[in-house]
Amino acid sequence: MKRPTTTKVCFPSATLCPLWLKIFLLLLLTFALASTIACAKGISSADATPAAPKSESPAPTPAPSEAAGPDTAPLPHIDSKRAFQYTREVTAFGPRYMGGENHKKLERYILDHLKGDQVEDDAFTADTVEGKFPVRNILAKFPGTKDGIIVILGHYDTVYPLRDSGFVGANEGGSSTAILLEYANQLRGGEAGKKRDGYSVWLVWTDGEEAVRHWTDTDSVYGARHLAEKWEKDGTLKKIKALMVMDMIGDADLDIIRATNGAPWLLDLIYTAAERGGYQSHFYALQGSIEDDHVPFVKRGVPCADVIDLDYGYNNVFWHSPQDTIDKLSPKSLEIVGDTILETIHMLDQR
Ligand SMILES: [Zn+2]
């Protein structure tokens, strides 16, 4: 679950306005204020351009990468069929909320796919408004020859308050778990023990991203907050070159939002990577400040990007709904995001 940092918008119903609608309205409001609205579904504009960053952001449109010289390396490609199959299998576990039985099954499923990799646990007990929960971030580290770390986060828990609603989170929780499993396949590559040619890449399946009751600063992103504190203390944060969050990236109708509470240069780099694959029409038509696993790291000065599609079905109707099912997703969307972020990693390696 994510919410914008401000929710000062007019609602059609003061009493029962769902959170997703607030987000959607805020996004629309952002367009109106910025006067740079792109063609969102159901809204047309004669001069559609990518959403411009808000006034405090320096670049008016997604800018070309700062990376020097043309990049002639072949574009990376994930195995999108395999990634989609992971999404299907993860979703088939059913609700996977913190503390639940299916959550434990999914932990084992993730670990089974990381055999032979350098895997670590970041496990602790979260004291929440709904009681104590075991929380377990799962890390897979792929060492590189360059000094520095690129971190990719994706949460695997589903929404606790929706545990009895039939919510299975194909996109919300499923797609992020799956794309990281596929990244692991891509990163482990050649011979065992051989370092990748570039920065170290750490994949983190975060736990407790979702609120257990209502989203607040203290009831959300439990795993990411714990990791950010830990990495601040042990000095890891200083080594992170970029941190990217994958969330809800499987929607067949893919619109990745420009999550404005990220590092503008990194958001632009992702856009440039998308352009290289011819995928740019799926990026940044919408923009807004999003609360997600990146926030604890943003607060500590880490360059972050939240890669998320919060336009899931008309008016975001499938978000946190029992209709968030596998039939709404497509392998192509996983491929678009998967290839783009692998290319972003490649471009980061060149810097
Ligand atoms: Zn999510």
Give the whole-angstrom CA distance, residue 167 versus residue 267. Answer: 31
Confidence of residue 191 (pLDDT cuts 50, 70, 90): confident
Query: Does 52 or 203 have the greater pLDDT score?
Result: 203
State yes or no: pLDDT of 11 exceeds 80.
no
Report the Cα–Cα distance between both ends of the chain, in Å, rounded: 33
Ligand 1 centroid distance, CA of 91 (Å): 13
Query: What is the Cα Rg of the chain in Å?
Result: 19
State yes or no: pLDDT of 44 exceeds 50.
no
Ligand 1 centroid distance, CA of 72 (Å): 34
State yes or no: pLDDT of 54 exceeds 70.
no
Ligand 1 centroid distance, CA of 247 (Å): 5
State yes or no: pLDDT of 193 exceeds 80.
no
State yes or no: pLDDT of 311 exceeds 80.
yes
Count CA within 13 A, CB hemisphere, residue 100. 22
State yes or no: pLDDT of 41 exceeds 50.
no
Average pLDDT, the chain: 85
What pLDDT is attached to residue 2? 56
Report residue 161 as tokens: 């308050």
Ligand 1 centroid distance, CA of 139 (Å): 18
Question: For ligand 1, a single-atom ion, which residues have Cβ within 5 Å?
Answer: 172, 247
Confidence of residue 183 (pLDDT cuts 50, 70, 90): very high
For residues 273, 274, 277, 278, the Cα torsion angle rounded to the nearest 10 degrees is -140
State yes or no: pLDDT of 95 exceeds 70.
yes
Q: Is the dihedral of CA 172, 79, 143, 70 positive or negative?
A: negative
Are 179 and 83 contacting, i.e. CB atoms less than 8 angstroms apart?
Answer: yes
State yes or no: pLDDT of 215 exceeds 60.
yes
Confidence of residue 72 (pLDDT cuts 50, 70, 90): confident
Residue 172 DSSP symbol: I
State yes or no: pLDDT of 290 exceeds 60.
yes
State yes or no: pLDDT of 18 exceeds 80.
no
Residue 71: count of CB within 10 angstroms of its CB:
16
What pLDDT is attached to residue 190? 67
Give the whole-angstrom CA distance, residue 219 versus residue 201. Answer: 28
Average pLDDT value for residue range 8-16: 29
Average pLDDT value for residue range 300-329: 97
Where is average pLDDT lowest: 54-58, 131-135, 300-304?
54-58
For residue 283, report the phi and psi dihedrals to the nearest 5 degrees.
-125, 130
Q: Give one DSSP letter per residue of 9-34, joined into a string.
A: ---S-SSS--HHHHHHHHHHHHHHHH
Q: How far is CA 264 from CA 56, 218, 269, 289, in A?
A: 10, 26, 9, 12
Give the whole-angstrom CA distance, residue 324 versus residue 168. Answer: 7
Average pLDDT value for residue range 82-109: 98
To which residue do tokens 């576990």 refer? 93
State yes or no: pLDDT of 155 exceeds 90.
yes
Element (H, E) at 178: helix 176-188
Q: Which of 302, 307, 215, 321 is nearest to 263 (CA)?
A: 302
State yes or no: pLDDT of 33 exceeds 90.
no
Are 186 and 257 contacting, i.e. CB atoms less than 8 angstroms apart?
Answer: no
Ligand 1 centroid distance, CA of 175 (Å): 9
Ligand 1 centroid distance, CA of 203 (Å): 16
Give the whole-angstrom CA distance, residue 137 versus residue 154. Answer: 10
State yes or no: pLDDT of 80 exceeds 70.
yes
pLDDT in tens, 202-212: 999 999 999 99
Give the whole-angstrom CA distance, residue 19 versus residue 1. Answer: 9
Give the whole-angstrom CA distance, residue 227 versus residue 340. Answer: 25
CA 275 to chain centroid, in Å, comes to 19
pLDDT in tens, 126-152: 999 999 999 999 999 999 999 999 999
For residue 302, report the phi and psi dihedrals to the nearest 5 degrees.
-80, 135
What pLDDT is attached to residue 340? 98
Confidence of residue 32 (pLDDT cuts 50, 70, 90): very low
Considering the entire predicted model, what is its pTM? 0.84
